[in-house]
Amino acid sequence: MIRRIALISLMILVQFLGIVSSPFSHAGEVTVFAAASLKNAIDDLAELYAKETGHRVFVSLAGSSVLARQIEYGARADVYFSANPTWMDYLEKRDLIDPATRFDLLGNRIVLISPKGFEPLAQPVNAADVLHLLGDGKLAMALVDAVPAGQYGKEAFQALGVWKQLRPSVAEVDNVRAALALVALGEVSLGVVYETDARASENVDIVGLFPSEVDPVIVYPVAAVSGGNTKMTKDFLEFVSSQLAKEVFEAQGFAVLREPKS
């Protein structure tokens, strides 16, 4: 009986050691603060990364400005993925990201959208056409003085010479996905979102593209947050630069600016 108990105890110990030494037994966590326009792509990548490594990825999505402020106020994050360089610069100047890990990964463009079924404008759009299509309706935009998508849209309309006329009709929301939702629900006549956002919804149509001379250059930088620059964080940054990640980003309509390492 004693031998049997000892044998059973040994078997349990072996099984336990097998569990703790399994590939996922030391699974860690990576917290990623990402611009709202990255939702579909970053959700897909988080799932793929977890399957490949056993590490969990927690994703917090919001406007780039909101996320930067949260990091500034002490929110825990390992990776910051911004929709423009300005907010990344903001954190770098405050020593809140590791500049050695920073790189530009993605490109995008803004587009003018409407609820499904609207007739597209002549391309590229001009001031008169935008005003005519909007009529007495509302124009959904992310916060025009804080969130990159809103800032880009404001700059484009200013370059077209139509911002002053449009400003009273602008319905500002916290982030670009909220602007997309307003249009998709038919609550507003038009919206300005990223092309990738428009492609992610079956309930909106792209009705206008901005002329090349006013179309802003849109770049998404990514970096490790100071204090969170662990080996796992570096591994995740390498993962989002991989060929697999490139395919995910391109499937969502992003331009990948950094070629995967061979």
DSSP the chain: -HHHHHHHHHHHHHHHHHHHTSTTTT--EEEEEEEGGGHHHHHHHHHHHHHHH--EEEEEEE-HHHHHHHHHTT---SEEE-SSHHHHHHHHHTT-B-GGG-EEEEEE-EEEEEETTPPPPSSS--HHHHHHHHTTS-EEEE-TTTSHHHHHHHHHHHHHT-HHHHGGGEEEESSHHHHHHHHHTTSSSEEEEEHHHHHT-SSEEEEEE--TTT---EEEEEEEBTT---HHHHHHHHHTTSHHHHHHHHHTTPEE-SPPP-
Band (pLDDT 50/70/90 cuts) for residue 262 is: low
Q: Tell me the average pLDDT across 109-122.
A: 89
Whether the predicted pLDDT of 223 surpasses 50:
yes
First-to-final CA distance of the chain? 60
Taking each helix axis as running N to C, give the angle between helix 243-251 and helix 39-53, from 0 to 180 degrees, rounded to the nearest 10: 150
Q: Check: pTM over 0.85? Answer yes or no.
A: no
- Write down the pLDDT at residue 27: 59
Q: Domains in the chain, please, with CATH?
A: 27-107+219-256 (3.40.190.10), 110-209 (3.40.190.10)
Q: Which residues are CB-neighbours of 17 under 8 A, at least 6 positions away?
A: none
The closest of 164, 166, 118, 161 to 139, measured between CA atoms, is 166
pLDDT tens-digit series, residues 34-60: 999 999 999 999 999 999 999 999 999
Mean pLDDT of the chain: 88
Q: Tell me the average pLDDT across 178-201.
A: 96
- Write down the pLDDT at residue 176: 96
Q: Tell me the average pLDDT across 124-139.
A: 92
Tokens of 31: 């917290």
